[in-house]
């Protein structure tokens, strides 16, 4: 969590220029040159680097406390390992500290580092756009601060120089020094798309997996306790509480526990939201660079070049959607692997949907399809499914998918959610105890309408269309995702079908892009319509493989079936299909 922002910017953008120099002794005489002296980082940085030892030392102390001061052989080994790591890390930190120097000349900020290969990074002051001071709680304890200087990210020249760490006073001085020269005017003129508004906090509990999160935390606490040799179930007060409340007043305990879990989850979600999105700011730092900055304890900053921004994804998870909220993600290349991409592509935290639409439009720099219009269309879906009413505004509606997709969703839900639970409960009931038989009934009766409702919602959410330069698709019920994808970014088309979809006359179309999650599905399109839609959305990919079917053969085999008995290769399938 704490490193990704740095890698995001530094990894790709190595600064204004880099020069490798033959090793210059750290104590080289500089008095001769008119340049200012090289300065060192604060030695307290060394202590910050040792901060990770808090956790093992703490658990060791807890063990000692729990076992009454007796430290067994395992604990001694842990202690020795910690001591050895301490020595190594201190040594590395010491070398790094001794070999890292910086200075501010009239024109540039220079940083040189490296033990054997000396590296000099030099950033012209006028290109510095932002100077951030960030300090983790540990940094604060030591009275030091990390300084990050962000530059205009035009091309690969954009980037970030970080000095880790300076005393707080020196950091503030240096920031003033840097910003005096910096081209802050250019930064000030740039449009800011969004800033954090703490009213959005009400959406936080709707996003975090509230209940699950509590169990995850409880599980890890249990594991930690277990790891240091404390078995919570054997502690006296836990057992007493269980026998007194758990068993005797069960009808009071269960709602109380549920409430407690919900409250804890909400508090956790709000805390997480604050940590993640403190000081959030989304802006075009110049015409070609979109930047997201956020974070309380750990500041994250992600810079996305406009050329790499291939689209925008509007996500509305079920709960958030019910609360009228949405979040926005970028579909951009170069954000790292799938996991990194998930963490770093966020453009807007859970926020009101109008705000999300505004941000999506700003990031896209062309109107994002208004979801309100589409939900209106969906409300009258019985007619929308046949012929969508003309859109009330210039933004066209999304085209709904064939009605048979609804049946598929219903069948899928009944088959994979209702049936297994009912069968298992009924089977167990028949085999062991008849108490479970009514449970099976209740399960079936409760889940069936729920599944049918979800299926209907999933079907209504399906839609696709072409909006100017963008391909727009929407799908999903647990998370309704609306994607606007640059049409020219589509690198390949895939048509996927199974025996079931082939029978239903459907096909799933997948657009491949070298950005974001790489593949974006448009599920359950009519099989005889998908090719023309794909050809219209991204011309020039599949045109030469299209044929116009002749209506003279109404009984012609489905275009998705291959003739089974054909002579050997090479041959033409085409002749046989008609």
Partner 1 sequence: MPEHAAPLLRPPRHRVDPRARRWWTVQALLTLSGPMLLTALVMAVLSVLFFPGALPWLGPLLLVVLVLPALGYLLVMPRRRYSVHAWELGSRAVYAAGGWFWQKRRIAPLSRVQTVDTMRGPIQRRYGLATVTVTTASTAGDIKIAGLSDADAEELSRLIGEAAQDVPGDAA
- Report the nearest approach of partner 1 to the CB of residue 468 (Å): 21
Q: Judged by CB, which is closer to partner 1: 281, or 541? A: 541
- Report the nearest approach of partner 1 to the CB of residue 289 (Å): 18
- The residue within the footprint of partner 1, chosen from 27, 236, 545, 555 (CB under 8 A), is 545
CB 478 within 8 A of CB 457: no
- The residue within the footprint of partner 1, chosen from 91, 494, 503, 557 (CB under 8 A), is 494
> How far is Cα 144 from Cα 544, in angstroms, rounded to an integer?
64
CB 282 within 8 A of CB 290: yes
- Report the nearest approach of partner 1 to the CB of residue 423 (Å): 17
- Report the nearest approach of partner 1 to the CB of residue 462 (Å): 19
Q: Rule CB under 8 A: is residue 156 a binding residue for partner 1?
A: no
> How far is Cα 177 from Cα 102, in angstroms, rounded to an integer?
13
- Report the nearest approach of partner 1 to the CB of residue 155 (Å): 15
- The piece of 133-141, 296-304, 449-457, 507-515 that touches partner 1 (CB under 8 A) is 507-515
Judged by CB under 8 A, the chain residues 318 through 357 that form the site for partner 1 are 333
- Report the nearest approach of partner 1 to the CB of residue 422 (Å): 23
Q: Rule CB under 8 A: is residue 255 a binding residue for partner 1?
A: no
Q: Rule CB under 8 A: is residue 499 a binding residue for partner 1?
A: yes
- The residue within the footprint of partner 1, chosen from 28, 173, 492, 553 (CB under 8 A), is 492
Q: Rule CB under 8 A: is residue 231 a binding residue for partner 1?
A: no
CB 212 within 8 A of CB 269: no
Q: What is the DSSP string of 153-193?
A: -SGGG--EEEEEEEEHHHHHHHHHHHHHHS-HHHHHHSPEE
CA atoms within 13 A on the CB side of 143: 6
Q: Rule CB under 8 A: is residue 573 a binding residue for partner 1?
A: yes
The candidate with the shortest Cα–Cα distance to 120, out of 14, 34, 33, is: 14
CB 364 within 8 A of CB 291: no
CB 376 within 8 A of CB 460: no
Q: Rule CB under 8 A: is residue 192 a binding residue for partner 1?
A: no
- Report the nearest approach of partner 1 to the CB of residue 508 (Å): 10
Three-class HEC string of 369-380: CCHHHHHHHHHC
Judged by CB under 8 A, the chain residues 49 through 88 that form the site for partner 1 are none
> How far is Cα 316 from Cα 476, in angstroms, rounded to an integer?
9
Could you identify the residue written with the tokens 């709707």?
206
Query: What tokens were used for 520?
Result: 């974006």
- The piece of 70-78, 214-222, 282-290, 536-544 that touches partner 1 (CB under 8 A) is 536-544
Q: Rule CB under 8 A: is residue 535 a binding residue for partner 1?
A: yes
**Cβ-proximal residues to 380 (8 Å cutoff; 6+ apart), any chain:** 389
Q: Rule CB under 8 A: is residue 399 a binding residue for partner 1?
A: no
> How far is Cα 416 from Cα 366, in angstroms, rounded to an integer?
40
Q: Rule CB under 8 A: is residue 568 a binding residue for partner 1?
A: yes
- The residue within the footprint of partner 1, chosen from 491, 522, 537, 555 (CB under 8 A), is 491
**Cβ-proximal residues to 315 (8 Å cutoff; 6+ apart), any chain:** 326, 327, 328, 329, 479, 480, 481
Q: Judged by CB, which is closer to partner 1: 43, or 505? A: 505
**Cβ-proximal residues to 309 (8 Å cutoff; 6+ apart), any chain:** 290, 330, 331, 332, 363, 515
Query: What tokens were used for 168?
Result: 């707080």
Q: Judged by CB, which is closer to partner 1: 104, or 577? A: 577
> How far is Cα 497 from Cα 511, in angstroms, rounded to an integer?
15
Q: Judged by CB, which is closer to partner 1: 185, or 544? A: 544
Judged by CB under 8 A, the chain residues 281 through 320 that form the site for partner 1 are none
Q: Rule CB under 8 A: is residue 183 a binding residue for partner 1?
A: no
Q: Rule CB under 8 A: is residue 512 a binding residue for partner 1?
A: yes
Q: Judged by CB, which is closer to partner 1: 105, or 519? A: 519
Q: How is residue 491 annotated by DSSP?
A: -
- Report the nearest approach of partner 1 to the CB of residue 284 (Å): 22
Apex CA 440: angle with CA 436 and CA 445, to 5°?
145
Q: Judged by CB, which is closer to partner 1: 128, or 509? A: 509
Q: Rule CB under 8 A: is residue 528 a binding residue for partner 1?
A: yes
- The residue within the footprint of partner 1, chosen from 532, 537, 553, 555 (CB under 8 A), is 532
- The piece of 49-57, 282-290, 462-470, 512-520 that touches partner 1 (CB under 8 A) is 512-520
- Report the nearest approach of partner 1 to the CB of residue 30 (Å): 45
Q: Judged by CB, which is closer to partner 1: 179, or 577? A: 577
- For residue 284, how many other CB atoms are within 10 A of its CB? 17
Q: How is residue 399 annotated by DSSP?
A: B
- Report the nearest approach of partner 1 to the CB of residue 577 (Å): 7
Q: Rule CB under 8 A: is residue 546 a binding residue for partner 1?
A: yes
Could you identify the residue written with the tokens 């994607």?
483
Q: Is 217 helix (H, G, I), strand (E, B) or coil?
A: helix
| Phi-psi label, residue 295: left if phi above 0, alpha if psi -120 to 50, beta otherwise | left
Considering CB under 8 A, how many residues would be counted as binding partner 1? 49
Residues that bind partner 1 (CB under 8 A): 333, 491-499, 502, 505, 510, 512-515, 518-519, 528-532, 535, 540-542, 544-549, 551, 559-560, 562-564, 566, 568-574, 577
């Amino acid at each position: 969590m704490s490193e990704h922002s740095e890698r995001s910017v530094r990894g790709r953008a190595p600064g204004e220029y880099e020069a490798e120099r033959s090793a210059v002794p750290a104590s080289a005489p500089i008095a001769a040159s008119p340049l200012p002296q090289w300065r060192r980082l604060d030695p307290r940085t060394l202590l910050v680097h040792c901060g990770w030892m808090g956790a093992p030392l703490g658990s060791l102390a807890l063990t000692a406390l729990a076992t009454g001061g007796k430290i067994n052989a395992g604990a001694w080994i842990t202690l020795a390992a910690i001591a050895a790591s301490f020595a190594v890390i201190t040594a590395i930190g010491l070398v790094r500290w001794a070999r890292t120097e910086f200075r501010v000349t009239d024109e540039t900020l220079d940083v040189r580092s490296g033990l054997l290969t000396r590296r000099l990074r030099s950033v012209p002051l006028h290109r510095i756009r932002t100077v951030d001071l960030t300090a983790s709680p540990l940094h604060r304890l030591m009275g030091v601060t990390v300084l990050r200087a962000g530059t205009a990210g035009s091309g690969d020249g954009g980037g970030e120089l970080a000095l880790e760490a300076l005393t707080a006073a020196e950091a503030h001085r240096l920031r003033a020094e840097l910003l005096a020269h910096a081209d802050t005017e250019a930064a000030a003129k740039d449009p800011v798309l969004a800033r954090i508004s703490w009213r959005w906090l009400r959406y936080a509990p709707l996003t975090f997996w509230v209940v699950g999160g509590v169990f995850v935390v409880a599980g890890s606490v249990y594991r930690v306790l277990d790891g240091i040799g404390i078995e919570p179930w054997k502690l006296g007060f836990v057992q007493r509480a269980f026998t007194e409340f758990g068993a005797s007043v069960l009808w009071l305990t269960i709602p109380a526990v549920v409430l407690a879990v919900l409250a804890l989850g909400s508090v956790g979600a709000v805390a997480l939201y604050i940590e993640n999105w403190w000081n959030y700011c989304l802006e075009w730092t110049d015409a070609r660079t979109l930047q997201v900055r956020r974070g309380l304890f750990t500041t994250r900053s992600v810079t996305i070049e406009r050329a790499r921004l291939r689209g925008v994804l509007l996500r509305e998870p079920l709960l958030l959607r019910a609360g009228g909220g949405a979040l926005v993600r970028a579909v951009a290349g170069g954000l790292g692997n799938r996991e990194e991409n998930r963490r770093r592509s966020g453009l807007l935290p859970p926020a009101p949907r109008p705000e999300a639409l505004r941000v999506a439009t700003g990031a896209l720099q062309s109107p994002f399809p208004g979801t309100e219009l589409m939900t209106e269309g969906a409300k009258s879906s019985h007619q929308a499914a046949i012929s969508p009413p003309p859109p009330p505004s210039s933004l066209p509606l999304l085209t709904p998918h064939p009605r048979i997709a609804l049946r598929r969703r219903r069948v899928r839900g009944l088959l994979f959610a209702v049936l297994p639970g009912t069968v298992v409960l009924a089977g167990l009931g028949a085999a062991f105890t008849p108490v479970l038989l009514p449970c099976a009934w209740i399960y079936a009766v409760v889940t069936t309408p729920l599944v049918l409702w979800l299926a209907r919602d999933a079907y209504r959410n399906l839609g696709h269309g072409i909006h100017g330069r963008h391909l727009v698709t929407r799908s999903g019920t647990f998370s309704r995702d609306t994607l606007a994808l640059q049409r020219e970014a589509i690198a390949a088309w895939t048509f996927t079908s199974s025996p079931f979809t082939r029978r239903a006359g459907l096909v799933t179309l997948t657009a491949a892009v070298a950005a974001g999650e790489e593949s974006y599905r448009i599920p359950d399109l009519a099989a005889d319509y998908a090719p023309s839609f794909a050809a219209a959305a991204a011309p020039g990919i599949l045109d030469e493989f299209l044929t116009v079917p002749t209506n003279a053969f109404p009984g012609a085999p489905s275009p998705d079936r291959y003739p089974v008995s054909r002579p050997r290769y090479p041959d033409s399938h085409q002749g046989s299909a008609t």
